[in-house]
C-alpha cells in the first residue's frame, strides 16, 4: 500500500519506530563513542531523548500540534550532545509542520531540511563528519516520489552513504577506526521511522555490520582533552531574560569551552558544553532562571577508566597515573565528587572521622602511580597524612582541604596530565580562592571571647571560624552576606532533611541580600549536621 500523507497519529508511530530502533542498537552505537569527545553513551542518550514520546500526552490527529508537543517533550528529556542535537532536529521538523494537519512528500522533505538547519544552528562550532553532516546530506535532494516509504528509504540510504565517509571528514574518527556515533544513531532513527510508517515491527538487525567494531581509545592520550568537564543543564527561563542576555551567554561559552549546544525558547534553556569551569557555567545559568537539572562529568576520568580496563601487564604496572580519594558524607556530595573525577570515597566528616585504616583500604583498591587525598575536614587532615606515611611503596599526597567547598575547588583544578608537584600547587591555589560557609543549629550553649551561643540558635561558620549566632536563618544569612562580599559564584549544598523548595527560598533570600551580579546554584548535598554548606568564589 502506497502512503502519500502522514498525520499526527502516523507521525507518532514513526517516532515510536525510531525509539525501538535506537533501543535495539544503542549498545552498538555506544561502542562508537570516540575520544577526545566521549561524552557519555551516545546510543543511550539518543534513545532516552526520543523515548520521551512514550511518556507524553499521546498522539493527536493534527500533525502540527502533535509534532510541537513531542518536540517539546524531547527537548526536556534530551541528554548528551547527540541527544540535544536530535531533539533540535525534531523541533525543526515541528516548525515546518506548524499549522498543517498532514504532510506529503514535499512537506516531509522540507521538514527534514528545517530540522537539519535547526540542529546545526544551535551548535556554536559545528564540525563536519558528525551527526550534523549526516542530517544535512540525507535530505539534500528534491522529492520525486509521492510514496513516503520510498522517500524514507532514500533518506536512509543517503544518510548511510554519508556516514561511511565521516572518517575521511574527521581525522579523530579515522584514528579510532570508527564512523561517527551520532550519525550511526541517526541512521537507526531513519530506519525506525520508515518501519513505523509501514507498521513493520522492529527486530534487532545490524545492517551496517562492517562498521560495528568499537572505538580504539588507546590511540589517544588524556592530553588530547582540552576541556575536562562535560556539563549539561536544563533551566526554566525566568521572565525578563532577553535575546541580548542569551547572546552574552553564547559569547561567554565560546570563550571558555567547546562542543557547545545551546537552545532556548520562551520557557526553557537547554545547554551542553565542554569546559574547565563547570560551576561558573551553572552560576551563569542560575541568573537566567531556575535550574531544573544539571550534570557534570569528568571526561578525562572517563577516558582513563576506558583505557585502563584490562590493560594491566604481568608486572602489575599501575593502570592509571592518578587516583583521587575524597572524604564525603551525604549521597549528593558524594555524587558531586564522583562526577568531578574522584575514584574512591571515604565516608566521613563532622562527627564522623575516618581512620587511617579506612584510607588504606581505599588505597588498596586503586591501581595507579600516584594517589591524592582530599580530607575535606580539619579533623581528618592528620589522619590522611598518617595514612600516606603508612602506605609503604605508594606515592600518596594529601591536599589539605579542610572544607567540602575547598575539596571541590581543588578537584576541579586537578589535571591528570600535570606532574604531581604542579597538581598539588594548582589544587592548593584553587582552595585559597574559595570562601567556605556552613550553617547549622547549635546543639548546646557556649561562651567565648568572640561569641556567645545559646542552644538551638542558628550558627554561621566561615572558613572554620564560628562567627555568627542568630535566632533566625534570615538574620544569619544577612550577616554571612558580608563575608561573601563581591564573590560571584555561589553554590549552596543543602543538607539531609532540607526540601528543594526550602533551599531555593534560601537561595532567593541570599540573592536579594547580595544584589545583582551574583548568581546562586542549589545542589542537594544530603549531608548530615549542616543544613547548608555554601561555596563562594
Query: Could you give the CA distance from residue 266 to residue 397 in angstroms, rounded to a whole number?
Result: 49
- The mean pLDDT value for 515-531 works out to 88
Q: Is the pLDDT assigned to residue 69 strictly greater than 50? A: yes
**To which residue does cell 581528618 refer?**
380
Q: For residue 351, name the pLDDT band (cuts at 50, 70, 90).
A: low
Q: What is the three-class DSSP state of 115?
A: helix
Q: Which residues of 85-107 are buried (b: 16+ CB within 10 A; e: fewer)?
A: bbbbbbbbbbbbbeebebbebeb
**To which residue does cell 533501543 refer?**
23
Query: Could you give the CA distance from residue 230 to residue 242 in angstroms, rounded to a whole number?
Result: 26
Q: Is the pLDDT assigned to residue 430 strictly greater than 90? A: yes
- The mean pLDDT value for 154-166 works out to 95
Q: Is the pLDDT assigned to residue 317 strictly greater than 70? A: no
Q: For residue 19, name the pLDDT band (cuts at 50, 70, 90).
A: very high
Query: Could you give the CA distance from residue 47 to residue 131 in angstroms, rounded to a whole number?
Result: 15
CA distances from 465 to 210, 348, 432 (A): 63, 20, 15
- The mean pLDDT value for 475-495 works out to 92
- The mean pLDDT value for 96-120 works out to 96
Share the mean pLDDT of the chain: 87
Q: What percent of the chain has pLDDT over 90?
A: 59
- The mean pLDDT value for 458-469 works out to 93
Question: What are the structural domains of the chain?
Answer: 8-220 (1.25.40.340), 223-301 (3.30.70.100), 317-432 (3.40.50.510), 435-536 (3.30.1180)
Q: Is the pLDDT assigned to residue 123 strictly greater than 50? A: yes
Q: How many CB atoms lie within 10 A of CB 492?
A: 23
Query: Could you give the CA distance from residue 261 to residue 120 in angstroms, rounded to a whole number?
Result: 9
pLDDT at residue 200 in the model: 86
Task: Quote the cell numbers at residue 128.
Answer: 563536519
Q: For residue 315, name the pLDDT band (cuts at 50, 70, 90).
A: very low
Peptide bond into 36 cis (omega under 30): yes
Residue 282 gets the label, from left (phi > 0), alpha (psi -120 to 50) or beta, of alpha
pLDDT at residue 207 in the model: 44
Query: Could you give the CA distance from residue 29 to residue 40 in angstroms, rounded to a whole number?
Result: 11
Maximum separation of any 2 CA atoms in the chain, in Å: 90
Instruction: Please enumerate in sequence order all residues whose Cβ is within 8 A of that of 414, keeping only pairs 6 or more positions apart, or say none.
Output: 322, 324, 341, 372, 423, 426, 427
Q: Is the pLDDT assigned to residue 222 strictly greater than 50? A: no
242 secondary structure, DSSP code:
-
pLDDT at residue 103 in the model: 97
* CA-closest candidate to residue 430, choices 229, 277, 252: 277
Lowest mean pLDDT among 299-308, 366-375, 376-385, 486-495: 299-308
Q: What is the three-class DSSP state of 10?
A: helix
Q: What percent of the chain has pLDDT over 70?
A: 90
* CA-closest candidate to residue 150, choices 206, 109, 95: 109
Q: Is the pLDDT assigned to residue 258 strictly greater than 90? A: no
Query: Could you give the CA distance from residue 475 to residue 469 in angstroms, rounded to a whole number?
Result: 9
Q: For residue 355, name the pLDDT band (cuts at 50, 70, 90).
A: confident
Query: Could you give the CA distance from residue 459 to residue 452 in angstroms, rounded to a whole number?
Result: 10
Task: List pLDDT tens digits, range 432-445.
Answer: 999 999 999 998 89
Cross-strand partners of 103: 6
**To which residue does cell 549536621 refer?**
529
**To which residue does cell 515546518 refer?**
96
Q: For residue 224, name the pLDDT band (cuts at 50, 70, 90).
A: low
By CB atoms closer than 10 A (0-12, 13-18, 19+), residue 290 is middle
Q: Is the pLDDT assigned to residue 219 strictly greater than 50? A: no
pLDDT at residue 15 in the model: 96
Q: What is the value of pTM for the model shown? A: 0.69
Decide: 291 and 271 in contact? Cβ < 8 Å. Answer: no
Decide: 211 and 179 in contact? Cβ < 8 Å. Answer: yes
Instruction: Please enumerate in sequence order all residues whose Cβ is within 8 A of that of 156, keeping only pairs 6 or more positions apart, or say none.
Output: 138, 187, 190, 191, 194
By CB atoms closer than 10 A (0-12, 13-18, 19+), residue 168 is exposed
Phi and psi torsions of 493, nearest 5°: -100, 110
Q: Following DSSP, what letter does each residue of 297-349 receive, concatenated? A: EEHHHHHHHHHHTT---TT---SEEEEEEEEE-SHHHHHHHHHTT-SEEEE-B
Q: Which residues of 316-350 are buried (b: 16+ CB within 10 A; e: fewer)?
A: eebbbbbbbbbbbbbebbbbbbbbbbbbbbbebbb
- The mean pLDDT value for 468-492 works out to 92
Tell me which of 306 and 345 has the higher pLDDT. 345
Rg (CA), the chain: 26
Q: Is the pLDDT assigned to residue 98 strictly greater than 80? A: yes
- The mean pLDDT value for 142-165 works out to 91
Amino acid at each position: 500500500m502506497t502512503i502519500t500523507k502522514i498525520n499526527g497519529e502516523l507521525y507518532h508511530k514513526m517516532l515510536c519506530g525510531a525509539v525501538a530502533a535506537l533501543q535495539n542498537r544503542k549498545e552498538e552505537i555506544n561502542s562508537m563513542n570516540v575520544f577526545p569527545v566521549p561524552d557519555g553513551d551516545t546510543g543511550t542518550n539518543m534513545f532516552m531523548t526520543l523515548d520521551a514520546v512514550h511518556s507524553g500526552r499521546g498522539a493527536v490527529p493534527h500533525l502540527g500540534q502533535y509534532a510541537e508537543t513531542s518536540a517539546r517533550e524531547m527537548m526536556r528529556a534530551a541528554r548528551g550532545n547527540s541527544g540535544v542535537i536530535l531533539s533540535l532536529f525534531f523541533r525543526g521538523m515541528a516548525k515546518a509542520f506548524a499549522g498543517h494537519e498532514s504532510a506529503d512528500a514535499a512537506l516531509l522533505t522540507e521538514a527534514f531540511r528545517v530540522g537539519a538547519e535547526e540542529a546545526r544552528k544551535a551548535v556554536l562550532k559545528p564540525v563536519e563528519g558528525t551527526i550534523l553532516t549526516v542530517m544535512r546530506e540525507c535530505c539534500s535532494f528534491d522529492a520525486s516520489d509521492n510514496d513516503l516509504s520510498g522517500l524514507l528509504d532514500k533518506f536512509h540510504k543517503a544518510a548511510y552513504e554519508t556516514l561511511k565517509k565521516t572518517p575521511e571528514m574527521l581525522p579523530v574518527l579515522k584514528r579510532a577506526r570508527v564512523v561517527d556515533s551520532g550519525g550511526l544513531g541517526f541512521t537507526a532513527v531513519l530506519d525506525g521511522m520508515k518501519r513505523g510508517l509501514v507498521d513493520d515491527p522492529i527486530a534487532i538487525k545490524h545492517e551496517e555490520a562492517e562498521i560495528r567494531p568499537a572505538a580504539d581509545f588507546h590511540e589517544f592520550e588524556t592530553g588530547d582533552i582540552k576541556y575536562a568537564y562535560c556539563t549539561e543543564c536544563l533551566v526554566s527561563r525566568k521572565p525578563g531574560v532577553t535575546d541580548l542576555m542569551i547572546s552574552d551567554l553564547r559569547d561567554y561559552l565560546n570563550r571558555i569551552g567547546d562542543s557547545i549546544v545551546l537552545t532556548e525558547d520562551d520557557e526553557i534553556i537547554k545547554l551542553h558544553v565542554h569546559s574547565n569551569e563547570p560551576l561558573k557555567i551553572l552560576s551563569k545559568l542560575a541568573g537566567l532562571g531556575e535550574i531544573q537539572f544539571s550534570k557534570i562529568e569528568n571526561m578525562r576520568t572517563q577516558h582513563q577508566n576506558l583505557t585502563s580496563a584490562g590493560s594491566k601487564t604481568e608486572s602489575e604496572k599501575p593502570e592509571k597515573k592518578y587516583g583521587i580519594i575524597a572524604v564525603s558524607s551525604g549521597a549528593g556530595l558524594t555524587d558531586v565528587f564522583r562526577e568531578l573525577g574522584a575514584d574512591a570515597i571515604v565516608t566521613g566528616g563532622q562527627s564522623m572521622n575516618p581512620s587511617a585504616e579506612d584510607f588504606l583500604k581505599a588505597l588498596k583498591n586503586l591501581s595507579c602511580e600516584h594517589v591524592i587525598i582530599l580530607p575535606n575536614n580539619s579533623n581528618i587532615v592528620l589522619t590522611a597524612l598518617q595514612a600516606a606515611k603508612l602506605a609503604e611503596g605508594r606515592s600518596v599526597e594529601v591536599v589539605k582541604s579542610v572544607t567540602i567547598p575547598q575539596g571541590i575547588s581543588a578537584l576541579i583544578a586537578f589535571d591528570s596530565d600535570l606532574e604531581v608537584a604542579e597538581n598539588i600547587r594548582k589544587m592548593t591555589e584553587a582552595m585559597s580562592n574559595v570562601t567556605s560557609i556552613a550553617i547549622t543549629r547549635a546543639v548546646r550553649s557556649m561562651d567565648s571571647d568572640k561569641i556567645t551561643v545559646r542552644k538551638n540558635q542558628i550558627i554561621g561558620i566561615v572558613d572554620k571560624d564560628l562567627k555568627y549566632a542568630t535566632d533566625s536563618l534570615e538574620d544569619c544569612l544577612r550577616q554571612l552576606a558580608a563575608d561573601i562580599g563581591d564573590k560571584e559564584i555561589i553554590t549552596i549544598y543543602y543538607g539531609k532533611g532540607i526540601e528543594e523548595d526550602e533551599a531555593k527560598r534560601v537561595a532567593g533570600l541570599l540573592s536579594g541580600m547580595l544584589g545583582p551580579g551574583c548568581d546562586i546554584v542549589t545542589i542537594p548535598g544530603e549531608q548530615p549536621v549542616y543544613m547548608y554548606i555554601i561555596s563562594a568564589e
